[in-house]
Amino acid sequence: MDDRTMRAVLFDRFGGPEVLYVGRVPRPEPAPGEVLVRVRAFSVNGGELAARSGRLRLFTGRKFPQRVGLDFTGEVAALGAGATGVAVGDRVWGVVGRTGFGSAAEYVTVRTERIGRVPDGLDLVEAAALPVATTAITALRDKARLRPGERLLVRGAAGGVGNAAVQLGRAYGAEVTALARAANLDFVRTLGAHHATDHRSVSPSDLGLFDVVLDTAGTDLRAFRRLLTPGGRMVTIAFDLTRLAASLGYIAASAVHGRGRVRFFSGNPKRALFDDLAREVAEGRLRPAVDTCFPLEETAAAHRALAAGGVRGKYVVRVD
């Protein structure tokens, strides 16, 4: 096989998971300040499903083939000119950044500030469930400034960011209430949730008041914002793609109307945050939660499973 090419997950038109296939593309070379990473695993994220279906075509464009894959784990295979802080052979995790996708492949090039070292003893396939946890760290520690003894509500508690938020909320000393599907309530309890509630069997108004609300769904923001105590903080990492303008407009208006501003952000981790992630894992406050591991050829099945809902942690794809 030509070592100038590599396998990658591609799609030639917008659509459902069936549009994904494994093809061959040129193997990238690291530019100055970049490293080449031999990918061992990546996880499937909701943003990729939206991009694949065409709902993000304003950002991704219409030129095909397009790629999927946002995060990854692997080993550094080569250094570009001026790349510092890492060495060939280092076990790393990282993200490709906000400019696109592409980690669903045998190799990926990435700037050195977009990666960090995976803690010793952590399997690289399991570790692929954790880069998204940097979003939970940012949301709780930096945006909400969660304090010991506060009441925390995590919406979407069984998902990729949600399960990490439950673990970290407990570790940070908060009283954690987890909203998830009925089938996942025992799972979120094992993560450290003090209270676990089926989100389909309760109205938000019946949940009580919270100092911090972390939302991973992006819908019904008004109802959950009403649950804030005086001085409470709400952070969302999503918006309603079916009502995009209204959703973004409400988030913006929340800064001047009603109780508490809704803080929205999109995860964009760099090395310092990956170092924080490694420390949380090494000190036992955070562990990976892998629902199912798929081979690269079954990436479409992983997309289909995530779209169906009910994930416990992350769907991870192994690159052999």
- Name the pTM for this structure: 0.91
Check whether residue 219 and residue 235 sit in a common domain.
yes
Check whether residue 153 and residue 252 sit in a common domain.
yes
Check whether residue 254 and residue 277 sit in a common domain.
no
| pLDDT band, very low/low/confident/very high, at 247 (cuts 50, 70, 90) | very low
Check whether residue 250 and residue 280 sit in a common domain.
no
Check whether residue 229 and residue 296 sit in a common domain.
no
Rg (CA), the chain: 19
Q: What is the CATH classification number for the domain harbouring 247?
A: 3.40.50.720
How many domains does the chain divide into? 2
Check whether residue 112 and residue 22 sit in a common domain.
yes
Check whether residue 138 and residue 247 sit in a common domain.
yes
- Pick the more confident residue, 237 or 315: 315
Q: What is the CATH classification number for the domain harbouring 97?
A: 3.90.180.10
* Cα–Cα distances in angstroms (integers) from residue 76 to residues 140, 176, 211, in the given order: 31, 38, 42
pLDDT tens readout for residues 201-222: 899 989 999 999 999 988 888 8
Check whether residue 62 and residue 147 sit in a common domain.
no
| pLDDT exceeds 50 at position 35 | yes
Check whether residue 283 and residue 205 sit in a common domain.
no
Check whether residue 230 and residue 150 sit in a common domain.
yes
Per the structure, the complete domain to which residue 233 belongs is given by: 133-264
